[in-house]
Amino acid sequence: MRKPNVILVITDDQGYGDLGCTGNPWIQTPHIDAFHDEAVCLKDFHVSPLCTPTRGALMSGKRPIRNGAWATTWGRSMLRKSEVTMANVFSDNGYKTGMFGKWHLGDNYPYRPQDRGFQHVVAHRGGGVGQTPDFWGNNYFNDTYFHNGKLVAHEGYCTDIWFKEAIKFIKANREQPFFAYIATNAPHCVDGASIIASVIRNPWWTNAPKTILMVLKDSGVMLSIFCITIEAFRSITFPCISKKSSTNGSSMHAMLLANCRVDII
């Protein structure tokens, strides 16, 4: 029996209610909503209220305090080198592994994604595009990113690039099992207007499920597992998600759940 392919997509600092399928009345995500309605959806998946702890736990299967990646700065954003990652497991079992986007679990050896089981990496550095460890002058558009540590200039919006590079990887490895980890750095915004603008202007993210599934079908690639999750760092939509995320109608309860509980589709 052929091994299943796995595609895992995680968005950055996005709240539970920042999708149409979780009750947002303003942000339109029709393709994600359609995928949500057709897929198996785990409704009580929990994440950390920061990006690095969520990513480290996802990669290692351990809580942040145990794996060493429990903050976003102060040297506490590096996943311990002794930890076995999801990519290590896939790679050790004959998979081609690719990582695209935001890592934020260490920028130097032996903490980089290419040191942690990923054979093909296209990523920015630090906790966001344009931060200090990243390439000077990066600003989401026409940036220079790191391909297995080497600088390569790109044209276009950052999320478009992550998905386009992931699609190249999928097509190139269609004849063998692969694990594609697409970790966007968007929305990653502190204000509601920027979150809305980021999602609305970014067709690759809102169309991601449809685009990936179409590519797989057209390329004849067998897909077994395709998951989308969010980090739930902050939500701009506490009022509109209170009915869906709160068990007792309390707005405070809804606010707390909005920062920890998410769907994994």
What pLDDT, in 10s, does the model give residues 155-185? Answer: 999 989 999 999 999 999 999 999 999 999 9
Catalytic residue of the set 21, 36, 41, 104: 104
> Rounded CA gap, 136 and 131, in Å?
8
219-248 mean pLDDT = 53
- Confidence at residue 238, expressed as pLDDT on a 0 to 100 scale: 39
Asked whether residue 264 carries a pLDDT value surpassing 90, the answer given is no
Band of pLDDT at residue 80, cut at 50, 70 and 90: very high
Proportion of the chain in helix, strand, coil states, percent, rounded to 5: 35, 20, 45
Between CA 65 and CA 74, with CA 69 as vertex, the angle to 5 degrees is 110
> Rounded CA gap, 264 and 111, in Å?
26
- Can 51 be counted among the known catalytic residues? yes
Helix (H) or strand (E) holding 67: helix 64-67
- Confidence at residue 205, expressed as pLDDT on a 0 to 100 scale: 53
Would you kindly state where each structural domain of the chain is located, as residue ranges? 6-264
Backbone angles phi, psi at 206, to 5 degrees: -70, -25
Which two structure tokens, joined as six digits, stand for 49?
């209220």
Which two structure tokens, joined as six digits, stand for 194?
């920027």
**Rounded to two decimals, what is the model's pTM?**
0.85
> Rounded CA gap, 39 and 43, in Å?
12
Catalytic residue of the set 31, 36, 51, 158: 51
Contact call for residues 30 and 20 (beta carbons, < 8 A) = yes
- Can 31 be counted among the known catalytic residues? no
Q: Per residue in 6-23, is it b (16+ CB within 10 Å) or e — as a string?
A: bbbbbbbbbbbbbbbbbb
> Rounded CA gap, 244 and 251, in Å?
11
Of 230, 103, 114, 100, the closest CA to residue 159 belongs to 100
- Confidence at residue 20, expressed as pLDDT on a 0 to 100 scale: 87
Is 6-264 assigned to CATH 3.30.450.90?
A: no
Contact call for residues 242 and 254 (beta carbons, < 8 A) = yes
Q: Tell me: the pLDDT tens digits for 204-230?
A: 455 666 677 777 777 667 665 777 776
- Report long-range pairs for 35-44 (Cβ below 8 Å, ≥24 apart): 35/209, 35/210, 35/213, 35/228, 35/265, 36/263, 36/265, 39/226, 39/265, 40/265, 41/263, 41/264, 41/265, 42/263, 42/264, 42/265, 43/263, 44/261
Task: State the distance between the two ends of the chain, measured CA to CA, in whole angstroms.
Answer: 25
